Amino acid sequence: MDVAKTLTFSVGPLVDQTTGTNETYSFHGPVKFEGIIPATDMKGRVEIMRIDEGFNVAIRNTEIKVKLSCEKCLKPITTTIKLDFFEKQFFLDEPKQPEDPNDLYLVDKKHLTINLAEPLRQEIILHFPVVQVCSESCKGICPKCGTDLNKKKCKCKIDPKNDRSDKPLAALKELIKK
């Protein structure tokens, strides 16, 4: 299955139906999201319901494994992201006063399809684990010499007040902010 097709659904059968009519689809296939590295295909279930302005889309039981890196030692790790339920509205015509322009989704009226890639991308990122570590006992890398402290010790003296060895990424993010 083609990456672009996994998360594209036809609303053609529903467009001429009355409000409240719905269809359910399952999906399972390869996906691509900006800023996310999938480690598996994605699967889930979608219920599309005709509403006055377009369609209400309920997305259920979604699961995907994604690749992240350990915050302490930067080693690659794989995490399962499960999204039980969320819903979005897809509009046939752009509302004149959208509630939130960043959360506005439109039906592709030419092909009568909707694409769930962007709402799913945002939802996956919201569900990233708060603490991303390869193991709870990970010792991280030395902020001075870069030695992987899981593998060996180094001779650097770390000022305990300034110890960022457990959070190289946090230290990096602070640097970027300045």
Would you tell me which residues interact with Zn ion (CB under 5 A)?
70, 72-73, 75, 134, 138, 142, 144-145, 147, 154, 156
* Residue nearer to Zn ion on the CB measure, 107 or 138: 138
* Residue nearer to Zn ion on the CB measure, 14 or 73: 73
Partner residues linked to 8 by β-bridges: 115
Question: Minimum Å distance from CB 66 to Zn ion?
Answer: 17
Question: Minimum Å distance from CB 150 to Zn ion?
Answer: 7
Integer CA distances (angstroms), 39 to 16, 67, 81, 126, in order:
39, 6, 11, 18
Three-class DSSP category at 52: coil
Q: How far apart are CA 111 and CA 52, in angstroms?
A: 19
* Residue nearer to Zn ion on the CB measure, 39 or 154: 154
Question: Minimum Å distance from CB 144 to Zn ion?
Answer: 4
* Residue nearer to Zn ion on the CB measure, 96 or 155: 155
CB atoms within 10 A of CB 62: 22
Integer CA distances (angstroms), 144 to 151, 163, 166, in order:
16, 10, 12
The helix, strand and coil proportions of the chain, stated in percent and rounded to the nearest 5, come to 20, 35, 45
* Residue nearer to Zn ion on the CB measure, 12 or 146: 146
Question: Minimum Å distance from CB 70 to Zn ion?
Answer: 3
Question: Minimum Å distance from CB 159 to Zn ion?
Answer: 13
Virtual torsion, Cα 27, 29, 30, 32, nearest 10 deg: 0
Contact indicator for 25, 13 with CB cutoff of 8 Å? no
